[in-house]
Structure 1
Amino acid sequence: MKKKWWHEKVAYQVYPKSFRDTNGDGIGDLRGIIEKLDYFKELGVDIIWLSPIFCSPMADQGYDISDYYNIDPMFGTMEDMDELLAEAKKRDLHVLMDLVVNHCSDEHEWFKQAMKDPDGKYGKYFYIEEGKDGKVPCNWRSYFGGSVWEPIPGTNKYYLHMFHKKQPDLNWENEEVREEIYKMINWWLDKGLSGFRIDAIINIKKVLPFRDYPADRDDGTAACTVMLKDAVGVMDFLNEMADRTFRPHNAFTAGEVFNEKKEELPDFIGDDGCFSTMFDFNETVFGESDRGWYDFTRITPDDYKRCCFETQERIDDVGLISNVIENHDEPRGVSRYIPEGDCTDTSKKMLATMSMMLKGLPFIYQGQELGMENIGFNNIDEVDDIATIDQYHVALDAGCSEREALDIIAYYSRDNARTPFQWDESDNAGFTSGKPWLRVNPNYTKINAKDQVGRADSVFAYYQKLIALRKNPEYKETIIYGKLVPYMEDEKNLMAYYRKGENQTLLVIGNYQNESRVVKLPASVKSVLLNNYDDAAISSDGTIHLEGYQAVVMEL
């Protein structure tokens, strides 16, 4: 593997709307991020990814962009963005933005022009098709429910939206569209961005001509993801984009990639891949069902372990995957991957160890370093997220009671990760002096940054130690580039693996249960590098006694 500038880094995702509000309007802003840059430095991260801050009607929380060249006034101004880039650079922090180019907003000027003349120049910027015998062009179901086709008033035509109806898909088959996108990307990279997280990018290649797929719901629709398995040629687009933008700038890119085939991995994240890295979603997609969240299978500790190890085996030495516990599209990881009733600071530190010591680039989502948890819902009126509202009604239609439907969406909802950041125990968790746009988790008086920063036994302090260990000159070659080999893989509720370098072997071991246990060690222990308990009970007989949810990193 060719060594790259970003390999030793740790990344952090900021959801600006919920991070820090400085003007009292209840919405986080760029000045709030500038104000907290030293917080990132204290944690030890190097790369900051900002979820969308472009101009947007906010139909899908900024992932519906109406102007790629401007900052939405709710977040601030371009001058604020320039200041953020300058202040981050002073601190040796790299800033990424979200690149959302599978679709734009229906309020983007391109789409407005397309609706005026669907057969004209801008109509070809989108997928506009004639209806078939009074029906939509094909039976694909959007990610947010309902048909991917929306009628254009006064015509027999429809436009395609894989996501919300206010997010029309851009036609990547049109070279003029691609040129506009590349021009925009280069404009931002020239401004000082270090790169992008790239949203929903596999969707840019469609199966053409459009056709029906076997229905998987009673309404006759089929999940649009089925189409992705048949789509051919996306790599041509991605390599062209990389050649025209990312590669000349030596930019860092993290792709949101689903459904990739193993043989395609070198093309995505190999030494000369189109992206620097891509996210591991093996854990987040575990147990999914086309029927809806109500039919999902919840993940167990052994499932989580298998998912992590499957990804590590699949990636091998092709490149570095990006490991995540949570993000803006997922519930809080500690509420999902730790069995119900077992969520404590100890178990949160164990989960952090298991994820951060995997081979790959760690991405921490805001609040993860504090152990922020799911919020729960008392009624559907408390929900903001469009996907969650859709799944609530899917569950009701499947025969669930209102309480059952609320419990289902409370477990999986994206709103869980979007609640305001918990800075301190003051009103609204110190996020805003106004009314927050989304409810603050009531547990903010117990879980907040003010309490944890500087407290040696906090979850925050433990993340600091994990990051420091990853960067330790004595161990970083092994942690970053060393092989990952599972240990005692079949042992129930035990997650353990080696990290093997050229002349060094580390053992990472986590007791993924409340009950203590004794585990046989494969070799003598040279030193204990990290432990979420005060002591590591290593016996002379070559065993280690692990307390409930104890995690230990050892050099053998």
Structure 2
Amino acid sequence: MMNKKWWHNKVAYQIYPKSFKDTNGDGIGDIPGIISKLDYLKDLGVDILWISPMYQSPMVDNGYDISDYYAIDPMFGSMDEMKQLIKEAKKRNMYILMDLVVNHCSSEHEWFQKAMADPEGEYGSYFYIKDGKDGQPPTNWRSYFGGSVWEKIPGYDNKFYLHSFAKEQPDLNWENEIVREKIYEMICWWMDQGLSGFRIDAIMNIKKDLTWSDLKPDGPDGLADVYKITGKVEGIGDFLMEMKHRCFEPYDALTVGEAMFVKEDILPQFIGEDGYFSTIFAFEPCHAYRKGKNYMNYDWPQPFDEWREETFHNQEIVAKAGFEANIIENHDQPRGASLFIPEEDYGFYSLSALATIIFCERGLPFLYQGQEIGMSNRQWKYDEFNDLETINQYQIALKAGMSKEQALEIARHHSRDNARTPMQWSSEENAGFSKGKPWMPVNENYKVVNVAEEEKEYGSILNFYKRLIAFYKSEEYNEILTYGDFRPIYEKEDHIFAYSRSYGCQKLVLICNFSSKEKDIELSEDYENVIFVNYEQTTVIGNTLKMKPYECVIYEM
């Protein structure tokens, strides 16, 4: 029996502040914009807000390159406004999480500037500075954004610093106790401002291979992806447990780790009763289409069988360990409406089916801004992309022999910019996001897909989400949907996503036809009480459930 926590029966929502709501007309979302929409989020049924970075930053990687952890970037507002946001959220019984980005900082951070001025001095040890091999990088590791993880230090022929991401994001040296102390001091300072916790970015990268050994090349560039180090090294748990004891436990903080590639046998160490984090994101089901492939030959949209298989496997192994945060999309992924649903099937029934499947799984439901209105991928031109990763991957695709059209098509599908287009509030100019020119192009479908229009229409996906969240949080079903066991059913049925949830003497069964074709399901049990649907009527003849395209039904046994 899992110990109950304050956040277990809640619904969370991610805000990408740059694209959420602009109030001063500069085309960039801001803190007053978030404050102005708290009542909208409360009405939706949201309890917990994770806000992507708003710290001072040169914005090379949209705020994930922090130059001052103690300051709010002026583009978003002031520290006083941040404190006001926390205060206004508390008035509504809502909780604020910020992003904790401590694998790396910005190359404009004071520490790094001092390190570059004197690589042999005190601040040089705050980072990973190594001698190269006759002027070449120390290892053949490839950064997440492409190219070597090593950048030559200006003025030195054979000294390099490590950056797992962009060269403007130098990795912090977690082996240095002084660095860790400064990080913990900063975390506690933010908790004292009234935060309820953090989403913890790229945390699996903080432990390095200190033998600095080459990896087996996995591409024509002779490099190997740096993420492979995470499966090779040991000892990360010492850092994570120290951070938990020093910073999170004293505040009963909710911590959501961006922890990918965690092996099944060590999952309890991450999210068990004494785990490093409260929970981690369930990335595997969303990334099923990537498995064993490189981004140039991903399947699109995500194949149903792989998604279902990965979900069922993930639910099984996580149940033995703890609690995950279930997602359809986030700021680092394409839109779930485009990833999971064929373009020709996009609409209310497919969107509502996807929402119901994810919300009723075991775990903490996590929405991303715009998901609740069915925001989808945009049709991009190359010169409109902002995301560094997308631009790099486009160039790599060209070098691999693809045409400009092929490279652009891949970038359109997979770009993180798809999730970063401005929130669509209305059919007014710029989707009601800003009175100025938005920093990122608005999706062309904003005149139809927007909050104002969907609030007026009972049968909209927005109002469906409100009903779904109310169902999830209802007195009758919140316990079973939060804590109930998860068991796959009808696994051999084509394009049928079905599972049961059991808790005490209560049992629910979800059956969804996740396809555009009608399907007949021979029911193995006598399901009597329909408690939630996305169609007005469910048809059962004898023991045959006659399912319409993207029909989803929940029974109570």
When normalised by structure 1's length, the TM-score is 0.98
CA contact (8 A) 1:293 1:395 kept: no
In structure 2, distance between residues paired with 1:423 and 1:544: 38
Counterpart check, 1:373 vs 2:376: yes
CA contact (8 A) 1:195 1:253 kept: yes
CA apart distance, 1:430: 0.1
In structure 2, distance between residues paired with 1:537 and 1:160: 60
Deviations 1:423-443 (A, max 9, x none): 000000000000000000010
Equivalent residues in 2 for 1:26-37, closer than 5 Å: 26-37=27-38
**What does residue 273 of structure 1 align with?**
275
- Residue identity in the other structure for 1:80: E
CA apart distance, 1:73: 0.2
In structure 2, distance between residues paired with 1:117 and 1:84: 40
**Pick from 471, 474, 487: which aligns with 2:473?**
471
Equivalent residues in 2 for 1:348-497, closer than 5 Å: 348-377=351-380, 379-497=381-499
In structure 2, distance between residues paired with 1:332 and 1:256: 18
In structure 1, distance between residues paired with 2:480 and 2:461: 24
CA contact (8 A) 2:285 2:314 kept: no
When normalised by structure 2's length, the TM-score is 0.98
Deviates more, 1:30-39 or 1:306-315: 306-315
**What does residue 45 of structure 1 align with?**
46
CA apart distance, 1:290: 8.1
**What does residue 318 of structure 1 align with?**
321
In structure 1, distance between residues paired with 2:275 and 2:87: 29
**What does residue 223 of structure 1 align with?**
225
**What does residue 207 of structure 2 align with?**
205
CA apart distance, 1:339: 2.2
In structure 2, distance between residues paired with 1:511 and 1:308: 16
Deviates more, 1:234-243 or 1:276-285: 276-285
Deviates more, 1:181-190 or 1:209-218: 209-218
- Residue identity in the other structure for 1:325: I
Counterpart check, 1:256 vs 2:258: yes
In structure 1, distance between residues paired with 2:101 and 2:27: 25
Identify if the C-alpha distance between structure 1 residues 353 and 498 changes in structure 2 by more than 3 Å, giving closer, same or farther.
same
In structure 2, distance between residues paired with 1:81 and 1:311: 37
SS for the counterpart of 1:552 is strand
CA apart distance, 1:517: 1.2
In structure 1, distance between residues paired with 2:488 and 2:95: 33
**Pick from 164, 167, 170: which aligns with 1:168?**
170
**What does residue 150 of structure 1 align with?**
151
**What does residue 91 of structure 2 align with?**
90
**What does residue 339 of structure 2 align with?**
336
Deviations 1:452-477 (A, max 9, x none): 12422111111111111111111111
SS for the counterpart of 1:506 is strand
- Residue identity in the other structure for 2:546: H
Deviations 1:174-197 (A, max 9, x none): 000000000000000011000000
Deviations 1:283-335 (A, max 9, x none): 23324378742122342122211111111011124211111000000000010
In structure 1, distance between residues paired with 2:184 and 2:456: 44
- Residue identity in the other structure for 2:204: I
The CA RMSD measured in Å over matched residues stands at 1.1
**What does residue 25 of structure 2 align with?**
24
CA contact (8 A) 1:141 1:147 kept: yes
In structure 1, distance between residues paired with 2:81 and 2:522: 55
Q: Which runs of 5+ in 2 are unaligned?
A: none
In structure 2, distance between residues paired with 1:289 and 1:219: 21
In structure 1, distance between residues paired with 2:101 and 2:228: 21
SS for the counterpart of 2:386 is coil
- Residue identity in the other structure for 2:119: P
- Residue identity in the other structure for 1:72: D
CA apart distance, 1:218: 1.4
Deviations 1:91-119 (A, max 9, x none): 00000000000000000000001011101
SS for the counterpart of 1:282 is helix
- Residue identity in the other structure for 1:453: E
Deviations 1:356-401 (A, max 9, x none): 1110001100000000000021x31011100001111111112211
**What does residue 15 of structure 1 align with?**
16
In structure 2, distance between residues paired with 1:509 and 1:69: 48
Deviations 1:186-223 (A, max 9, x none): 00001100000000001000111211111111111111
Counterpart check, 1:234 vs 2:236: yes
SS for the counterpart of 2:250 is helix
In structure 2, distance between residues paired with 1:64 and 1:211: 27
Deviations 1:525-554 (A, max 9, x none): 342221111111123x12221100111111
CA apart distance, 1:258: 1.0
**What does residue 554 of structure 2 align with?**
553
Deviates more, 1:285-294 or 1:379-388: 285-294
In structure 1, distance between residues paired with 2:286 and 2:536: 32
Counterpart check, 1:529 vs 2:531: yes
Deviations 1:448-501 (A, max 9, x none): 000112422111111111111111111111111111111111211110000111
In structure 2, distance between residues paired with 1:98 and 1:121: 28
CA apart distance, 1:163: 0.2
- Residue identity in the other structure for 2:407: A
- Residue identity in the other structure for 2:74: P
Q: Which runs of 5+ in 1 are unaligned?
A: none
SS for the counterpart of 1:453 is helix
**What does residue 55 of structure 1 align with?**
56
In structure 1, distance between residues paired with 2:11 and 2:320: 19
Identify if the C-alpha distance between structure 1 residues 374 and 487 changes in structure 2 by more than 3 Å, giving closer, same or farther.
same
Deviates more, 1:520-529 or 1:220-229: 520-529
CA contact (8 A) 1:217 1:291 kept: no
In structure 2, distance between residues paired with 1:526 and 1:317: 31
Equivalent residues in 2 for 1:118-197, closer than 5 Å: 118-155=119-156, 156-197=158-199
CA contact (8 A) 2:372 2:461 kept: yes
CA contact (8 A) 2:289 2:307 kept: no
SS for the counterpart of 1:518 is strand
Counterpart check, 1:309 vs 2:351: no
Deviates more, 1:404-413 or 1:424-433: 404-413
In structure 2, distance between residues paired with 1:508 and 1:236: 41
In structure 1, distance between residues paired with 2:483 and 2:522: 26
CA apart distance, 1:524: 2.4
In structure 1, distance between residues paired with 2:164 and 2:287: 19
CA contact (8 A) 1:15 1:328 kept: yes
CA contact (8 A) 1:216 1:290 kept: no
Count of residues in correspondence between the two structures:
554
CA contact (8 A) 2:129 2:159 kept: yes
